[in-house]
Structure 1
Amino acid sequence: MSGRRAADVRVFAVVLGIGGLIPFVVLACLSARNAAGSREYQHSLLMYAASIAAFVGAVHWGLVLREADATRKHVLQLAWSVVPSLAAWAVTISSEPRAALVRMALVLAACWVVDAVFWARRAIPAWYFGLRSLLTSVAAASLVLAGFAGAG
């Protein structure tokens, strides 16, 4: 891929990633401000976060599939790729929505930690890890805010 095309793809990924934060921020704010509908907003946020966790894992699946030869790193990355969706599913069925939102923030944070390890081992691009860091920070903060909305 030429340098120009790679830069275009990165810009588009940043735009899509930032756009993907809109449901996190909007639903967290609605959860915090609207006590009457907060349970519905929290549920919607939880389901959206679960889909994002699955997406975060699937990125690793996609990175490995483009490789011609499988190394130990690729096998680990492929095995890891299914963990976020399983963890997200477990969180969505396991607890009261406010607690589940906080647990989902922990799932996304754990995914970031694993991505940090893969980034250090050059299994994911540096630009992607930088983007993931920003996106995970905002998403996790939104989940925690919504999880504590109305608590007390």
Structure 2
Amino acid sequence: MELADILAPRAVLSCTGVTNKRQLFERLADTASGLTDFTSAQILDALTSREELGSTGLGNGIAIPHGKLTGLKGVTAVFARLDQPIDFDAVDDQPVDLVVMLLAPVGAGADHLKALSRVARLLRTEAITEQLRAETDAMRLHEVLTAPVETTYAA
């Protein structure tokens, strides 16, 4: 599964003014609502329910909040680049500024895990995270996230 398959260009945000995890989740839920048949409240509930189990902050300024929704048609992603890092209770206690939210249908275990793995692998690549942190244009961010691996590493 490639990120281009689940991340629409309109699902890439360059966020300003987000100061906490709740605001971030609300912004992600609002965007995802426009991509799915779910309300912002339903998506926010899925994200916060999962986050209550433990932080999805991976470290190095990266978080992958995720949730499952009954009836969702397929895995859906939303990316946010924050202009100011926020506290996320990440495993390394560092603030987060790069976020990929994943939503998956209930029962889509393999696809959900493939998407999580793909995103985590991509965001562990220093050259990619440097590009994402240097860019503010949403279309360019989408290009970096969805570029073939050879193209992304070359930049």
Is TM more than 0.5 here?
Answer: no
**TM-score, reference length from structure 2:** 0.29
**TM-score, reference length from structure 1:** 0.29
Between structures 1 and 2, the one with greater strand share: 2
Between structures 1 and 2, the one with greater helix share: 1
